[in-house]
Structure 1
Amino acid sequence: MLHEILLSLSGVQSPIWDQGRLPGELNGQTFNQYVSPPERAMLESLAHLQRLHVQVKHATAQFTKTHESMVCRAVSASIADVHLGNFMDKIVQVETSILKKDAGYVGAYGIVPLSTIVSDFAPWTRRLEWLKAVVEQLNANSQPTRPSAPGLLDFLEKETHTGYSDIEEMAVALLTVAQRAWMRIASLWILYGKLSRFGPHDFCVKENPQASSTIDTFLLDQLLVPKFVNTAAAQALCSTGTALNQLRSHGKHATFSLKTSSDPAMTLLSRHLKLLESLEYPLNPSLLENVFLSINSSISENALSQVLPRALVMRLLQVILRYVLLDHGEFAVSLVAHADDRVMNRQHAQTAVRPVRRIGKLDDLAVKDAEINSILSKTMAELAALGVDDDVEEEVFLFAKQILSLKTVDVENGSHMVSTLLPTTTFLYITIPPSSPLHIFLSPQDTEVYALLNAYLVSVYRAGFHLSGLWKLSGHRRSYPTPLGPPRSASKAGHAILAARRSRDTRRMKRTRRHWTVASKALFLVNELEAYLQGEVIQNSWTQFHRWLEGEDAIVSPKSSRPTTSSSAAQSRTTGLPDGTSGLGSSDTNVRPSDPRLLAEAHGIFLQGLKSGLFFTNGPFIQTMKTLVTQCDHFNALFSRLQVVWEGLDLQEDDGVVDAFSSYEKDEREVLSEMDRTSDAINASVIQLVNKIRELAAEMRTGTGADDTQQNPAEARWNVTTFVPWQARTVDRLVMKLDSLAERHEDEGNGLDDAGQYDDD
């Protein structure tokens, strides 16, 4: 009987337990007639132990072969081989002791007390019940909200804090096995930047299905992050493999050799492997975080910095500052001038026959790609003719010629976009070659944002440029006819002609006086807004970013709110170059950040702060600004059309030159009527824009409209240096300058209503 009990405990099916449950048990028949009730109770505990062993054994055998998680497979195999093996060893040890007639088991007359066997196996009941609970954790269906591998790791870590020493030892042993299996999967990612094909459901780093570049190819799945991997360690883990993947991707397209003949990531492999081997299990979260941060820092300092030198990043930033953000004033002037020449050549034949309400609106005028490319080529050629100050600026200029390009885009919803450079929506893009390592620093999303910002800034500058050009139309403002000359000037007819001409010009001046007032208001608004955007936001944001790049933490002092020209800003731009002899970073004590990923992260924060400072994140403001610049283009075209009409009327009235195909009097009435309507719309748009700026100022004072462009502590913890962007505390100075525009219309009461009456069609 004892042999049968021990054999059944080892997992072999035995009829002894089935007979004990037969209905004849109540009548004292079969097996139960030989045992007393106390013995039956002890046998029931052994039967429960046998059932636990069989259930755990069968479950582990199945999970070890079929489970999709490699971590769960490792834990299942460890349970079957180690812990159930210990139970089998215990059975063999008990049976051996009985056969050897050990006094601890065999009493007088060779009797083996059943209570001794039960008491010897009693601790294993608790252990096998716990193992059964672990096996249940291996079942993915039992955890609908948590995947099996991270759920198992968290469960084992929780079970290490128990009051039973034997359960704690088993939990620590299984947790060590699970963590080793997880680290084997993670080591392939940490050392080589590759995702393991085995156990893809265990690792927390996944491929991004919507990736647009090598920067965001991978992402963290928070559901798969175990608890022993804190936020900083998880960020460093994702960043490490992503950097190695970027190095490998760059190596496939690179057309130049690195400073070393071998892959820099492979030269660091032995050092990183030693760091991983130094870990002790169970893993300590703090030590694991330190190891991940050390490997991440090592890759940044020794591998990425060789592929993407800091000087190349600084050169790209100079191109962005000078040409994309229009710090180079001559570039904006030349670009707008060449674009206007191209448009005027295309629309010259259509101007005379276009309806009055469509004058200046060239939505139906298509510009070819070849024409767009010629605009930028002529602009760069003109800048090259002006010359550069030194070799450093020449390098930046040549680099800008390589990566800048004008492209047309198809925009379905352009409500949050201002682009008036050409009739076709055109952006100035930064085109980085596939072989360039700059993809590590500048993402396609950043390129798109810079294209939008450039179109917005160019549109504002173009509006001011065209409005100021109205004052070149001297015939509209300073046309006071002089006498005809002797002898006609002395005759009555000459006096009558002179009086008629002066009366006509006086009437025209009075008729267009309100239009010149509106043009003056719009020009004042555009100039002050441009001065704020260029002189304060862009200049201060760049200075703050540059000081951080040079390792300085000083606060940026306010600058003049007037934009700088190319000559006056040459010295300040030179300080932004890494090879400059003068500038903010001349001190050797400053630690300049060289990690490309840290630079990319700081640049992302800088770009977000710049968008907020330029009001580009405020949709209603951008929409109102778009309406205003469109109305200004139409207004400028109406002035030009009116000049043509008046010249025709003058020839008709003074010299008798009649154009049979034109009705200048009718055209004059239509143009002046449209100018009245457009003037009211521009007035309303100006008031709306001033009110929007007032609302932004109020939001800045209360803090309700501030954008959170800084990192939270959990995300910034793994970075030694965190960049804090420049943020305008208030726009009170801009509001005070623009208040006079709105005060003139407070008594009218209908200024805002006229905006809705303006129809682009």
Structure 2
Amino acid sequence: MLHEILLSLSGHPSPLLHTPPSPEADALAGITPPERQLLSSARHISDLNTNLIAYSTEISTTHSSTICRAVATAISSIHLAAFQRKVLQVEESILKNDADWVGAYNIVPLTAIMGEFQQWTRRLEWLWDTDYVCVENCLPSFVTGATAASMIFIGKSLNHVRAMNSTSSSSGGVAHVSAKLQELSALTLPLENSEFSKAVKAIRTSLSQNTLQKMLPLAKVSEMIQLLRDFFLLGRGEFAMALTHEADERIRNRWRRAGNLAYEKDDGLKNLTVKDGEVAAVLNRTWAVLVSMQGQHAEEDDQLELARSLIQLHLTKSKPPAALVTGRGLDVQAANVLAASPFRNMLFSVPAMLSLDLPSPLDMVISPSDLQLYSSINAYLLSLRRAHMRLTDLWKITSLRRHYPSPRGASDHAVTLRERWSDRSWLLRSTWTTASAAIFFLAETEAYFQTEIVKTLWDNFHAWLVPSQPQRSGRATPIDHHHSQPPSQHSHDPQTLSTAHTLYLRTLTHRLLLTQASFTDQLYALLQHIDHLVTHIHRLHSLFTSLDLEHDAGVVDAFVDLEREQSQVFSSLHDIQLKVKQGIDNVVSALRNLESDAAFLAEWDGQGLVDDEGEERGYVPCRVGGVDRLLMKLDFGSWLGGTAWEG
């Protein structure tokens, strides 16, 4: 009973502490009314501790506010940790037969235990009670959402300037901001929405023009966003190919090593666990491959060197630790879908993702939530590229796909080989048809995502970010030269860049259908079936090689029944083919359902993405091809439908 009480106080609910439906139940259990009163106090403390543990964990990992996450983490790491240490201290004293706790005949009074925890009741109740709430109706009417965001950005910028030990020019910029602050004191009551917003905007503009442009030039921001485009959005295809190849090679080596150890030890399969060091080694090997592809006399790739110093590949938990910030363009439901995205498991069969170690000034434009979106999109696109590559690599197994006919008048052995190859080709005909259909599906889907979605949105955003200068035709007259103005540089301030980049990234996430669970779940299931199909074909190829050695060279393995294993692989391969076909049909059906979904179409058109309070020259995402264009490409025809497809 004492053990049950201490477990419940530690946060594990126990049925012993629940009030029974009738007093007779307590009598049958041997619990007296005074003991039941003490158990009710223990239940109250246990419920408070359990609720605090659950909610503090959820808030510290998923809440959009940094302050809320910090408070929840402090509650968990300070107060709840101290309470847990108190429980362990009481348990240790009882186990050591401390005279303060254990009486005659090893009896531990329940009143002594509950008296020790009575002082924690008030603290836990204080932590649990909602004494402070945020009522949106009580917010000042003259502060809009855009104005509040500008005020937060100004404070963040000043902290960056102070932390970076700014130069004299930056100090002058802060002095300009101090002068602009006098405009706030000049405002008269009652404050008007437009006047207050204009004053805050003037402060932000002054800070951007005098300080932030020197600390965070546009070229530096453009370079980092271009790096994210090339390596996270697969702009450089050789990076995705090398990373996929090295990861697959690492997994194959682990299986070979585990198979060799299985003959020596019984726990050989335990060595299949992927470790962080091996994942980092895969990325290092990928960088080495990319450097070797440049050639000996090629110019140095500055972007590649920058990526090597910033990009990391590491294992993650089932859910990413960083929380996605919800807001315009990304609601709570979409954030939950992205957090539960399973595509991180495709590369190593365990959750792994790319991340970027962002330098300090650039985090004013690119937030951790944006980097989390980049990682999710990268895992999504990389899974499609990996499945496509694994399927196309099957055609490189020449001995499995192509057999040269023997000449007329050949020996009986040649006739036997020709019959064996013909039987295998006939058995694998439907397998190659299914693999071809899957390649067609992946090629068209990946081409649609990369060319019509990623490239189009990137070109549109990059044109807004770095506008090209118009070409002046003809020779300039002296009058033209006298009145000519320098080309206008529409330099966006960091807050405008951050807002536009977040909007671009969230639009890209929606257009890639990554927030549509009905589509991504079916696509992930299809990619898993394709992995199984490729694995079974490779296994069948190794069995064919072993059978040929057994029949032609007399190399016999007495511990393996190759004929029986071959029949089992063929049976499993047939089942996997049906699953791949059904998976393609399910994905296409999900696309057709999205095509007729009014809410999805409204979201696709950008409703709710563009803020009415946005400033002039704000970024507006361009329109791209809809789902109907992808469905037109995936219209397989009769060879993937009806009797031909079933065969």
1:370 aligns with 2:294: no
Which residue of structure 2 aligns with residue 226 of structure 1? Answer: 140
Q: Alignment identity in percent?
A: 29
Structure 1 letter corresponding to 2:147: A
1:734 to 615, 627, 630: 630
1:663 maps to a residue whose letter is D
Partner of 1:473: 397
1:678 is matched with 576
Structure 1 residues 443 and 309 mapped into 2: Cα distance closer, same or farther (>3 Å)? same
Q: 1:652 aligns with which of 550, 557, 573?
A: 550
Provide the rounded CA distance (Å) in 1 between the counterparts of 2:373 and 2:564: 46
Q: Please name the residue that 1:33 is paired with.
A: none
**Equivalent position amino acid for 2:158 in 1:** L
Residue type matched to 2:426 in 1? K
* Among 669, 688, 696, the residue aligned to 2:567: 669
Q: Displacement of 1:390 after TM fit?
A: 12
Q: Distance in 1 between matches of 2:512 and 2:146?
A: 31
Contact kept in structure 2, 1:696 and 1:705, CA below 8 Å? no
The C-alpha deviation readout for 1:602-632, integer Å capped at 9, x for no partner, is 0011011111121111112111111111111
Residue 235 of structure 2 is matched in structure 1 by 327
Cα deviation, residue 230, structure 1 = 4.9
- 1:416 maps to 2:314: no
2:514 is the alignment partner of 1:616: yes
For 1:428, which of 337, 348, 354 is the aligned residue?
354
Aligned to 2:592: 694
The answer for the alignment partner of 1:641 in structure 2 is 539
* 1:451–1:707 Cα change, 3 Å: farther
- CA-to-aligned-CA distance 1:150-203 (integer Å, 9 cap, x gap): xxxxxxxxxxxxxxxxxxxxxxxxxxxxxxxxxxxxxxxxxxxxxxxxxxxxxx
What CA RMSD, in Å, does the superposition of the two structures yield over aligned residues?
A: 3.5
How much does 1:293 deviate? Answer: 2.1
Kept in 1: contact 2:173–2:206 (CA 8 A): no
Letter of the structure 2 residue corresponding to residue 297 of structure 1: T
Match for residue 314 of structure 2 among 407, 411, 418: 407
Q: 1:368 to 1:741 in 2, by over 3 A?
A: farther
Q: Shift in Å at residue 314 of structure 1?
A: 0.7
TM-score where L is the length of structure 1: 0.58
> What corresponds to 2:503 in structure 1?
605
- CA shift for structure 1 position 262: 5.2
Summarize the alignment of residues 28-177 of structure 1 with structure 2, pairs less than 5 Å apart.
Answer: none
- Kindly report which structure 2 residues correspond to 1:516-665, keeping only aligned pairs within 5 A, or say none: 516-551=432-467, 589-665=487-563
* Structure 1 residues not aligned, in runs of 5+: 1-205, 213-218, 355-361, 484-488, 555-586, 752-761
CA distance, structure 2, for counterparts of residue 220 and residue 304 of structure 1: 33
1:459 aligns with 2:383: yes
Task: Name 2:187's counterpart in structure 1.
Answer: 279
In structure 2, do the counterparts of structure 1 residues 538 and 237 end up closer, same or farther at CA, with 3 Å as the change threshold?
closer
Output the CA distance in 2 between the equivalents of 1:455 and 1:439. Answer: 22
Residues 301 and 594 in structure 1, CA contact (< 8 A), matched pair in contact too: no
Q: Distance in 1 between matches of 2:209 and 2:198?
A: 16
User: Contact (CA 8 Å) 1:323, 1:331: kept in 2 or not?
Assistant: yes
| Structure 1 residue 713 displacement after superposition | 4.8
What are the superposed Cα offsets for residues 407-453 of structure 1, whole Å, 9 maximum, x if unpaired?
A: 101115985331311122110111224xx111111111111111111
Q: Distance in 2 between matches of 1:498 and 1:749?
A: 34
With 424-433 and 320-329 compared, the bigger mean Cα shift is at 424-433
Q: Distance in 1 between matches of 2:562 and 2:159?
A: 70
Find the aligned partners of 1:294 and 1:541 in 2 and give their Cα distance: 31
Instruction: Kindly name which structure, 1 or 2, has the bigger radius of gyration based on alpha carbons.
Output: 1
1:236–1:296 Cα contact (<8 Å) kept = no
Counterpart residue number, 2:620: 724
State the distance in 2 between where 1:364 and 1:710 align: 50
SS in 1 for 2:234: coil
Contact 2:343 2:383 in 1 (8 A): yes
1:579-601 deviation per Cα after TM superposition (whole angstroms, max 9, x unaligned):
xxxxxxxx964543331111010
Relative to the length of structure 2, the TM-score reads 0.68
Pick the aligned partner of 1:300 from 208, 212, 215: 208
Whether 1:240 aligns to 2:151 is: yes
Unaligned stretches of 5+ residues in structure 2: 1-64, 72-132, 263-268, 320-336, 471-484
Encode CA deviations 1:264-308: one digit per residue, 9 max, x unaligned: 553124421332343334444433332222122222332333332
Q: Aligned with 1:715: secondary structure?
A: coil
Counterpart residue type for residue 626 of structure 2: T
Aligned to 2:55: none
Residue aligned with 1:405, SS: strand
8 Å Cα contact 2:391-2:439 kept in structure 1: yes
Instruction: Tell me if 1:267 matches 2:181.
Output: no
Q: CA deviation at 1:667?
A: 1.0
Partner SS for 1:427: strand
2:348 alignment partner AA? L
Instruction: Tell me how far apart the structure 1 counterparts of residues 295 and 134 of structure 2 sit (CA, whole Å).
Output: 47
Query: Which of 369, 373, 377 in structure 2 is aligned with 1:449?
Result: 373
Letter in 1 for 2:159: R
Cα distance in structure 2, aligned partners of 1:659 and 1:735: 50
Alignment match, 1:745: 641
Distance 2:512 2:207 in 1: 36
Alignment length (residue pairs):
483
Matched letter for residue 222 of structure 1 = E
- 1:502 is matched with which residue: 412, 415, 418? 418
Structure 2 counterpart SS, 1:418: helix
Measured in 2, the distance between the counterparts of 1:643 and 1:394 equals: 41
| 1:352 CA drift (Å) | 9.7
Deviation at 1:671, TM superposition (A): 0.6
SS of 1:268's equivalent in the other structure is helix
Structure 1 stretch displaced more, 621-630 or 742-751? 742-751
In structure 2, the CA distance between the partners of 1:264 and 1:440, relative to structure 1 (3 Å rule), is: farther
**CA distance in structure 1 between the partners assigned to 2:192 and 2:525 by the alignment:** 60
